Amino acid sequence: MRVSVLVPGVLRTAVGGASRLDVDVAAPATLGSVLDSLASQYPALDRKLRDERAGLRRYVNFYVDGEECRRLDGAATPINPGAEIQILPSVAGG
């Protein structure tokens, strides 16, 4: 099945400048399996999204069809065919 991943400007250098990635994953899929698929193509992106134990980095937010995944099941959040996943790194500063 195919899903879309929206990549913010700050992470686009890790994916060759693309703002949207279409990812093919086997059903049933989870956010973690989508990230695994991305990691195989874009290892530099994976290091920015997940920690050494493949856990979601706490300062990166993932939205699955508009729902924040931490309010769902985190990396185990089910992904439906045609889903849209948006990645939003937290912005900090002072």
The answer to whether residue 69 is domain-embedded is yes
Which CATH number fits the domain that encloses residue 31? 3.10.20.30
The answer to whether residue 94 is domain-embedded is no
Q: How many domains is the chain built from?
A: 1
Structural domain of residue 18, as residue ranges? 2-89
Q: What is the mean pLDDT of the chain?
A: 93
The answer to whether residue 77 is domain-embedded is yes
pLDDT band per the 50, 70, 90 thresholds, residue 90: confident
Task: Give the amino acid at 61.
Answer: N
Beta bridge partner(s), residue 59: none
Pairing relationship of beta strands 20-24 and 2-6 according to DSSP bridges: antiparallel
Residue 93 has pLDDT above 80, yes or no: no
pLDDT band per the 50, 70, 90 thresholds, residue 71: confident
Torsion of CA 49, 50, 52, 58, to 10 degrees: 100
